[in-house]
Chains A and B, each alone.
Chain A
Amino acid sequence: MNTSTICQNTKAALPDLLLDPAASTSAAAREHMDACPGCREEFQQLQATFALLDAWEAPEPSPYFDQKLAVLLREAQNEPPAGWFERLRSRMMFNTGRQFRPALAGALALVLLVGGGTFADLSLGHHPATPQVSATVNDLRIMDTNDQAFQTMDQLMQDENAPADTNTATPPAS
Protein backbone atom coordinates (compact mmCIF):
# COMPACT_ATOMS: atom_id res chain seq x y z
CA MET A 1 0.00 0.00 0.00
CA ASN A 2 1.57 3.31 -1.00
CA THR A 3 1.53 6.44 1.09
CA SER A 4 -1.30 8.23 -0.67
CA THR A 5 -3.61 5.23 -0.25
CA ILE A 6 -2.85 5.19 3.46
CA CYS A 7 -3.55 8.90 3.64
CA GLN A 8 -6.87 8.38 1.88
CA ASN A 9 -7.81 5.60 4.26
CA THR A 10 -6.90 7.82 7.15
CA LYS A 11 -9.04 10.64 5.81
CA ALA A 12 -11.90 8.19 5.47
CA ALA A 13 -11.46 7.36 9.16
CA LEU A 14 -11.42 10.99 10.29
CA PRO A 15 -15.19 11.15 10.88
CA ASP A 16 -14.89 8.36 13.42
CA LEU A 17 -11.80 9.86 14.99
CA LEU A 18 -13.58 13.13 15.38
CA LEU A 19 -17.08 11.98 16.15
CA ASP A 20 -16.66 8.54 17.68
CA PRO A 21 -13.08 8.12 18.97
CA ALA A 22 -13.79 4.66 20.36
CA ALA A 23 -14.68 3.24 16.92
CA SER A 24 -12.50 0.38 15.67
CA THR A 25 -11.53 2.22 12.46
CA SER A 26 -9.73 4.80 14.56
CA ALA A 27 -6.70 2.79 15.69
CA ALA A 28 -4.97 2.41 12.32
CA ALA A 29 -5.65 6.02 11.44
CA ARG A 30 -4.20 7.17 14.73
CA GLU A 31 -1.04 5.18 14.11
CA HIS A 32 -0.67 6.66 10.64
CA MET A 33 -1.14 10.20 11.91
CA ASP A 34 1.78 9.80 14.29
CA ALA A 35 4.00 9.46 11.23
CA CYS A 36 2.18 11.68 8.69
CA PRO A 37 2.20 15.44 9.35
CA GLY A 38 -0.36 16.13 6.61
CA CYS A 39 -3.04 13.86 7.99
CA ARG A 40 -2.23 14.92 11.53
CA GLU A 41 -2.72 18.57 10.69
CA GLU A 42 -6.01 17.94 8.97
CA PHE A 43 -7.31 16.08 11.99
CA GLN A 44 -6.05 18.69 14.46
CA GLN A 45 -7.78 21.45 12.54
CA LEU A 46 -11.05 19.56 12.53
CA GLN A 47 -10.68 18.92 16.22
CA ALA A 48 -9.99 22.60 16.86
CA THR A 49 -13.05 23.59 14.82
CA PHE A 50 -15.17 21.17 16.78
CA ALA A 51 -13.90 22.69 20.04
CA LEU A 52 -14.33 26.25 18.78
CA LEU A 53 -18.05 25.67 18.33
CA ASP A 54 -18.36 25.53 22.13
CA ALA A 55 -18.09 29.32 22.13
CA TRP A 56 -21.66 29.58 20.86
CA GLU A 57 -23.67 29.69 24.05
CA ALA A 58 -27.43 29.64 24.47
CA PRO A 59 -29.32 31.52 27.19
CA GLU A 60 -31.23 29.94 30.07
CA PRO A 61 -35.02 29.66 29.70
CA SER A 62 -36.87 32.78 30.85
CA PRO A 63 -38.77 32.50 34.15
CA TYR A 64 -42.10 32.80 32.30
CA PHE A 65 -41.60 29.84 30.03
CA ASP A 66 -43.28 27.31 32.32
CA GLN A 67 -46.20 29.59 33.13
CA LYS A 68 -46.95 30.35 29.48
CA LEU A 69 -46.69 26.71 28.57
CA ALA A 70 -49.03 25.73 31.41
CA VAL A 71 -51.64 28.17 30.09
CA LEU A 72 -51.29 26.85 26.53
CA LEU A 73 -51.61 23.27 27.73
CA ARG A 74 -54.72 24.06 29.76
CA GLU A 75 -56.29 25.48 26.62
CA ALA A 76 -55.26 22.43 24.64
CA GLN A 77 -56.80 20.14 27.28
CA ASN A 78 -60.16 21.75 26.59
CA GLU A 79 -59.92 21.34 22.82
CA PRO A 80 -61.98 18.65 21.11
CA PRO A 81 -59.93 15.58 20.10
CA ALA A 82 -58.18 15.76 16.74
CA GLY A 83 -59.97 14.36 13.68
CA TRP A 84 -58.60 11.38 11.82
CA PHE A 85 -57.04 13.48 9.10
CA GLU A 86 -55.08 15.52 11.62
CA ARG A 87 -53.92 12.33 13.28
CA LEU A 88 -52.90 10.86 9.93
CA ARG A 89 -50.98 14.00 9.07
CA SER A 90 -49.28 14.14 12.42
CA ARG A 91 -48.28 10.53 12.11
CA MET A 92 -46.82 11.08 8.67
CA MET A 93 -44.96 14.19 9.69
CA PHE A 94 -43.39 13.04 12.89
CA ASN A 95 -43.13 9.29 12.97
CA THR A 96 -39.97 7.47 12.09
CA GLY A 97 -41.61 4.30 10.79
CA ARG A 98 -40.80 4.49 7.09
CA GLN A 99 -42.66 1.31 6.37
CA PHE A 100 -46.07 3.03 6.51
CA ARG A 101 -45.18 6.03 4.46
CA PRO A 102 -45.74 4.92 0.87
CA ALA A 103 -49.12 3.50 1.77
CA LEU A 104 -50.10 6.66 3.60
CA ALA A 105 -48.92 8.87 0.78
CA GLY A 106 -51.01 6.81 -1.60
CA ALA A 107 -54.02 7.08 0.66
CA LEU A 108 -53.56 10.82 0.91
CA ALA A 109 -53.27 11.20 -2.86
CA LEU A 110 -56.43 9.18 -3.27
CA VAL A 111 -58.26 11.39 -0.79
CA LEU A 112 -57.18 14.48 -2.73
CA LEU A 113 -58.10 12.91 -6.04
CA VAL A 114 -61.53 11.69 -5.02
CA GLY A 115 -62.52 14.46 -2.66
CA GLY A 116 -60.65 17.33 -4.21
CA GLY A 117 -59.51 17.92 -0.66
CA THR A 118 -62.95 17.73 0.90
CA PHE A 119 -62.25 14.39 2.45
CA ALA A 120 -65.50 14.52 4.40
CA ASP A 121 -67.23 13.60 1.15
CA LEU A 122 -65.67 10.16 1.33
CA SER A 123 -67.82 9.15 4.26
CA LEU A 124 -70.88 11.24 3.49
CA GLY A 125 -71.01 10.43 -0.18
CA HIS A 126 -72.22 13.21 -2.45
CA HIS A 127 -75.40 13.82 -0.55
CA PRO A 128 -76.85 17.29 -0.38
CA ALA A 129 -75.92 17.28 3.32
CA THR A 130 -72.59 19.00 2.76
CA PRO A 131 -73.72 22.19 0.96
CA GLN A 132 -74.66 23.70 4.35
CA VAL A 133 -71.03 24.79 4.45
CA SER A 134 -70.53 28.00 2.48
CA ALA A 135 -68.38 27.91 -0.63
CA THR A 136 -65.75 30.14 0.94
CA VAL A 137 -65.38 27.97 4.00
CA ASN A 138 -65.16 24.97 1.73
CA ASP A 139 -62.46 26.59 -0.40
CA LEU A 140 -60.49 27.54 2.66
CA ARG A 141 -60.75 24.01 3.90
CA ILE A 142 -59.57 22.61 0.60
CA MET A 143 -56.67 25.01 0.53
CA ASP A 144 -55.67 24.13 4.05
CA THR A 145 -55.91 20.44 3.36
CA ASN A 146 -53.97 20.73 0.13
CA ASP A 147 -51.35 22.84 1.84
CA GLN A 148 -50.89 20.19 4.49
CA ALA A 149 -50.72 17.53 1.83
CA PHE A 150 -48.13 19.46 -0.17
CA GLN A 151 -46.02 19.91 2.92
CA THR A 152 -46.16 16.21 3.52
CA MET A 153 -45.38 15.44 -0.11
CA ASP A 154 -42.52 17.91 0.04
CA GLN A 155 -41.14 16.01 2.96
CA LEU A 156 -41.48 12.71 1.17
CA MET A 157 -39.71 14.13 -1.87
CA GLN A 158 -36.88 15.38 0.30
CA ASP A 159 -36.45 11.92 1.70
CA GLU A 160 -36.28 10.47 -1.74
CA ASN A 161 -33.58 12.96 -2.70
CA ALA A 162 -31.52 11.90 0.27
CA PRO A 163 -28.32 9.92 -0.34
CA ALA A 164 -28.78 6.44 -1.73
CA ASP A 165 -27.87 4.68 1.50
CA THR A 166 -30.93 6.18 3.15
CA ASN A 167 -32.83 2.97 2.63
CA THR A 168 -30.40 1.06 4.76
CA ALA A 169 -31.56 3.07 7.78
CA THR A 170 -32.09 0.81 10.72
CA PRO A 171 -35.57 0.84 12.18
CA PRO A 172 -35.69 2.96 15.33
CA ALA A 173 -35.35 1.25 18.66
CA SER A 174 -38.50 1.31 20.70
Chain B
Amino acid sequence: MEDMATLAISPGLLEDLQAAESHHAAGDFAQMDDAVIMLELRTGNMAGFDYLIQKYRKPIIRFMYRMVHNQAVAEELAQEVFLRVYRSRETYRAEARFSTWLYRIATNLGVNHARDTRRERSASTVYLDEPDPESGTTPDVADTAPDVEAKILRRERMEAIRQHVMSLPERQRMAVLMHKYEGMDYRQIGEVLKLSESATKSLLFRAYQTLREKLKDFI
Protein backbone atom coordinates (compact mmCIF):
# COMPACT_ATOMS: atom_id res chain seq x y z
CA MET B 1 0.00 0.00 0.00
CA GLU B 2 2.80 2.32 0.90
CA ASP B 3 4.37 1.55 -2.47
CA MET B 4 1.19 2.52 -4.26
CA ALA B 5 1.06 5.86 -2.48
CA THR B 6 4.66 6.56 -3.34
CA LEU B 7 4.04 5.64 -6.94
CA ALA B 8 1.17 8.04 -7.22
CA ILE B 9 3.44 10.85 -6.13
CA SER B 10 6.47 9.91 -8.16
CA PRO B 11 5.70 8.18 -11.47
CA GLY B 12 9.42 7.95 -12.24
CA LEU B 13 9.81 5.37 -9.51
CA LEU B 14 7.54 3.02 -11.40
CA GLU B 15 10.01 2.91 -14.28
CA ASP B 16 12.88 2.25 -11.88
CA LEU B 17 10.99 -0.62 -10.34
CA GLN B 18 10.19 -2.08 -13.72
CA ALA B 19 13.84 -1.85 -14.67
CA ALA B 20 14.79 -3.63 -11.45
CA GLU B 21 12.22 -6.30 -12.10
CA SER B 22 13.32 -6.94 -15.66
CA HIS B 23 14.85 -10.33 -16.18
CA HIS B 24 18.56 -10.84 -15.93
CA ALA B 25 20.93 -12.86 -18.05
CA ALA B 26 21.83 -16.19 -16.40
CA GLY B 27 25.34 -14.99 -15.54
CA ASP B 28 23.97 -12.10 -13.48
CA PHE B 29 22.43 -14.31 -10.83
CA ALA B 30 25.81 -15.47 -9.55
CA GLN B 31 26.55 -11.84 -8.63
CA MET B 32 23.21 -11.42 -6.84
CA ASP B 33 22.29 -12.29 -3.29
CA ASP B 34 19.98 -15.32 -3.12
CA ALA B 35 17.52 -13.27 -1.12
CA VAL B 36 17.28 -10.70 -3.90
CA ILE B 37 16.67 -13.42 -6.48
CA MET B 38 13.98 -14.81 -4.20
CA LEU B 39 12.30 -11.43 -3.92
CA GLU B 40 12.32 -11.19 -7.72
CA LEU B 41 10.46 -14.50 -7.88
CA ARG B 42 7.43 -12.64 -6.52
CA THR B 43 7.44 -10.57 -9.64
CA GLY B 44 7.50 -13.73 -11.73
CA ASN B 45 11.19 -14.03 -12.52
CA MET B 46 11.40 -17.80 -12.96
CA ALA B 47 14.89 -17.66 -14.49
CA GLY B 48 16.24 -16.58 -11.12
CA PHE B 49 14.43 -19.43 -9.44
CA ASP B 50 15.96 -21.90 -11.91
CA TYR B 51 19.33 -20.59 -10.86
CA LEU B 52 18.51 -21.16 -7.17
CA ILE B 53 17.36 -24.70 -7.93
CA GLN B 54 20.57 -25.47 -9.81
CA LYS B 55 22.60 -24.05 -6.98
CA TYR B 56 20.88 -25.90 -4.15
CA ARG B 57 19.42 -29.08 -5.60
CA LYS B 58 22.47 -31.27 -4.95
CA PRO B 59 22.95 -30.21 -1.34
CA ILE B 60 19.23 -30.54 -0.62
CA ILE B 61 18.92 -33.96 -2.28
CA ARG B 62 21.98 -35.11 -0.32
CA PHE B 63 20.53 -33.73 2.89
CA MET B 64 17.21 -35.49 2.30
CA TYR B 65 18.97 -38.68 1.26
CA ARG B 66 20.81 -38.88 4.57
CA MET B 67 17.55 -38.41 6.39
CA VAL B 68 15.52 -41.02 4.52
CA HIS B 69 18.18 -43.37 3.10
CA ASN B 70 16.38 -43.82 -0.20
CA GLN B 71 17.23 -41.87 -3.30
CA ALA B 72 13.77 -41.86 -4.87
CA VAL B 73 12.16 -40.63 -1.66
CA ALA B 74 14.94 -38.11 -1.13
CA GLU B 75 14.36 -36.65 -4.58
CA GLU B 76 10.60 -36.47 -4.07
CA LEU B 77 11.11 -34.66 -0.79
CA ALA B 78 13.66 -32.32 -2.39
CA GLN B 79 11.14 -31.50 -5.12
CA GLU B 80 8.60 -30.76 -2.42
CA VAL B 81 11.11 -28.44 -0.74
CA PHE B 82 11.52 -26.35 -3.90
CA LEU B 83 7.81 -26.43 -4.55
CA ARG B 84 7.16 -25.07 -1.07
CA VAL B 85 9.76 -22.39 -1.60
CA TYR B 86 7.94 -21.40 -4.76
CA ARG B 87 4.54 -21.43 -3.09
CA SER B 88 5.85 -19.39 -0.17
CA ARG B 89 7.44 -16.73 -2.37
CA GLU B 90 4.93 -14.18 -1.07
CA THR B 91 5.80 -14.80 2.57
CA TYR B 92 9.55 -14.82 2.10
CA ARG B 93 11.16 -11.90 3.90
CA ALA B 94 14.83 -11.23 3.43
CA GLU B 95 15.25 -11.20 7.23
CA ALA B 96 16.83 -14.65 7.06
CA ARG B 97 19.41 -15.93 4.62
CA PHE B 98 17.74 -17.76 1.75
CA SER B 99 19.68 -20.94 2.51
CA THR B 100 18.57 -20.83 6.16
CA TRP B 101 14.97 -20.67 5.04
CA LEU B 102 15.56 -23.47 2.52
CA TYR B 103 17.08 -25.76 5.15
CA ARG B 104 14.30 -24.88 7.55
CA ILE B 105 11.76 -26.17 5.03
CA ALA B 106 13.91 -29.22 4.23
CA THR B 107 14.36 -30.02 7.92
CA ASN B 108 10.63 -29.80 8.58
CA LEU B 109 9.82 -32.09 5.67
CA GLY B 110 12.55 -34.58 6.54
CA VAL B 111 11.64 -34.75 10.21
CA ASN B 112 7.96 -35.20 9.42
CA HIS B 113 8.77 -37.94 6.95
CA ALA B 114 10.98 -39.68 9.51
CA ARG B 115 8.20 -39.52 12.10
CA ASP B 116 5.66 -40.92 9.65
CA THR B 117 7.84 -43.87 8.71
CA ARG B 118 9.42 -44.57 12.09
CA ARG B 119 7.43 -47.75 12.64
CA GLU B 120 8.25 -49.23 9.23
CA ARG B 121 11.90 -48.50 9.66
CA SER B 122 12.23 -50.07 13.08
CA ALA B 123 10.65 -53.25 11.73
CA SER B 124 13.17 -53.66 8.94
CA THR B 125 16.58 -55.15 9.59
CA VAL B 126 19.39 -54.91 7.12
CA TYR B 127 21.19 -58.10 6.16
CA LEU B 128 24.48 -57.82 4.39
CA ASP B 129 23.78 -60.57 1.86
CA GLU B 130 20.61 -58.87 0.67
CA PRO B 131 20.62 -56.32 -2.15
CA ASP B 132 21.55 -52.85 -1.07
CA PRO B 133 18.23 -50.93 -0.82
CA GLU B 134 19.80 -47.87 -2.47
CA SER B 135 21.71 -49.33 -5.39
CA GLY B 136 20.09 -52.77 -5.68
CA THR B 137 23.52 -54.39 -5.80
CA THR B 138 24.82 -57.32 -3.75
CA PRO B 139 28.50 -57.82 -2.98
CA ASP B 140 29.91 -59.29 -6.18
CA VAL B 141 30.90 -62.92 -5.51
CA ALA B 142 32.84 -63.13 -8.79
CA ASP B 143 35.35 -60.63 -7.45
CA THR B 144 38.55 -61.73 -5.84
CA ALA B 145 38.18 -62.58 -2.16
CA PRO B 146 40.06 -59.59 -0.68
CA ASP B 147 37.90 -57.27 -2.75
CA VAL B 148 34.70 -58.82 -1.43
CA GLU B 149 35.95 -58.49 2.10
CA ALA B 150 36.88 -54.87 1.54
CA LYS B 151 33.45 -54.17 0.06
CA ILE B 152 31.65 -55.89 2.90
CA LEU B 153 33.72 -54.01 5.43
CA ARG B 154 33.03 -50.74 3.67
CA ARG B 155 29.33 -51.46 3.62
CA GLU B 156 29.24 -52.50 7.25
CA ARG B 157 30.99 -49.30 8.13
CA MET B 158 28.60 -47.15 6.12
CA GLU B 159 25.63 -48.98 7.58
CA ALA B 160 26.94 -48.45 11.11
CA ILE B 161 27.52 -44.75 10.47
CA ARG B 162 24.04 -44.39 9.02
CA GLN B 163 22.33 -46.26 11.84
CA HIS B 164 24.12 -44.40 14.59
CA VAL B 165 23.60 -40.99 13.02
CA MET B 166 19.93 -41.88 12.49
CA SER B 167 19.49 -42.94 16.10
CA LEU B 168 20.76 -39.63 17.48
CA PRO B 169 18.09 -37.39 19.02
CA GLU B 170 16.35 -35.41 16.29
CA ARG B 171 18.06 -32.05 16.76
CA GLN B 172 21.51 -33.62 17.16
CA ARG B 173 20.94 -35.62 13.99
CA MET B 174 19.88 -32.60 11.98
CA ALA B 175 22.82 -30.60 13.35
CA VAL B 176 25.31 -33.31 12.35
CA LEU B 177 23.84 -33.59 8.85
CA MET B 178 24.13 -29.84 8.35
CA HIS B 179 27.53 -29.48 9.98
CA LYS B 180 29.35 -32.56 8.78
CA TYR B 181 27.77 -33.06 5.38
CA GLU B 182 26.59 -29.61 4.34
CA GLY B 183 29.56 -27.74 5.78
CA MET B 184 27.36 -25.20 7.56
CA ASP B 185 28.72 -23.22 10.53
CA TYR B 186 27.18 -23.19 14.03
CA ARG B 187 25.57 -19.90 13.46
CA GLN B 188 23.60 -20.96 10.41
CA ILE B 189 22.73 -24.35 11.91
CA GLY B 190 21.50 -22.45 14.95
CA GLU B 191 19.35 -20.27 12.73
CA VAL B 192 17.76 -23.29 11.08
CA LEU B 193 17.16 -25.11 14.37
CA LYS B 194 16.35 -21.89 16.26
CA LEU B 195 19.15 -22.34 18.75
CA SER B 196 21.91 -20.04 19.92
CA GLU B 197 25.43 -20.61 18.67
CA SER B 198 26.54 -21.99 22.02
CA ALA B 199 23.56 -24.34 22.22
CA THR B 200 24.32 -25.51 18.69
CA LYS B 201 27.95 -26.07 19.61
CA SER B 202 27.12 -28.22 22.61
CA LEU B 203 24.45 -30.08 20.65
CA LEU B 204 27.02 -30.96 17.99
CA PHE B 205 29.64 -31.91 20.53
CA ARG B 206 27.28 -34.26 22.33
CA ALA B 207 26.38 -35.83 19.00
CA TYR B 208 30.01 -36.44 18.03
CA GLN B 209 30.77 -37.84 21.48
CA THR B 210 27.92 -40.31 21.14
CA LEU B 211 29.11 -41.26 17.67
CA ARG B 212 32.66 -41.73 18.90
CA GLU B 213 31.38 -44.19 21.50
CA LYS B 214 29.12 -46.06 19.07
CA LEU B 215 31.57 -46.17 16.19
CA LYS B 216 34.73 -46.94 18.14
CA ASP B 217 35.10 -50.34 16.47
CA PHE B 218 35.57 -48.63 13.12
CA ILE B 219 38.15 -46.09 14.24
Contact = CB atoms under 8 A, between A and B. Distances in A.
A58 B215 CA distance: 19
Contacts of A95: 91, 93, 95-96, 101, 104
A69 B79 contact: yes
A122 interface: no
A82 B157 CA distance: 46
A96 interface: yes
Given A73-B86, A94-B105, A55 B204 contact: no
B53 A69 contact: yes
B199 A52 contact: no
Interface in A145-174: 159, 162-163, 165-174
A58 B209 CA distance: 23
B71 A172 contact: no
Interface of A is mostly: helix
B162 A56 contact: yes
Interface stretch (B15-23, B122-130, B144-152, B190-198): B190-198
A62 B75 contact: yes
Interface residues of B, number: 69
Contacts of B35: 174
B75 to A, nearest CB: 5
B201 A15 contact: yes
The SS class assigned to the B binding surface is helix
Given A61-B75, A97-B95, A165 B196 contact: yes
A19 B95 contact: no
B84, B101, B208, B209: residue with the most chain A Cβ atoms closer than 10 Å: B208
A46 B93 contact: no
Interface in B72-104: 75, 78-79, 82-84, 86-88, 90-91, 93-97, 100-101, 104
Interface in B38-80: 46, 49, 53, 57-58, 61-62, 65-66, 71, 75, 78-79
A52 B191 contact: no
Interface residues of A, number: 54
Contacts of B167: none
Interface stretch (A2-10, A27-35, A85-93, A131-139): A85-93
Interface of B: 35, 46, 49, 53, 57-58, 61-62, 65-66, 71, 75, 78-79, 82-84, 86-88, 90-91, 93-97, 100-101, 104-105, 108, 134-135, 154, 157-158, 161-162, 165, 171, 176, 179-181, 185-187, 190-192, 194-199, 201-202, 204-205, 208-209, 211-212, 215-216, 218-219
Interface of A: 14-16, 18-20, 45-46, 48-50, 52-53, 55-62, 65-66, 68-69, 72-73, 76-77, 79, 81-82, 87, 90-91, 93-98, 159, 162-163, 165-174
Closest 5 pairs (CB-CB, A-B): A15-B205, A96-B96, A49-B212, A58-B62, A172-B96
12 contacts: A19-B201, A49-B212, A50-B208, A55-B161, A61-B57, A65-B61, A66-B53, A68-B79, A76-B83, A95-B101, A166-B199, A169-B194
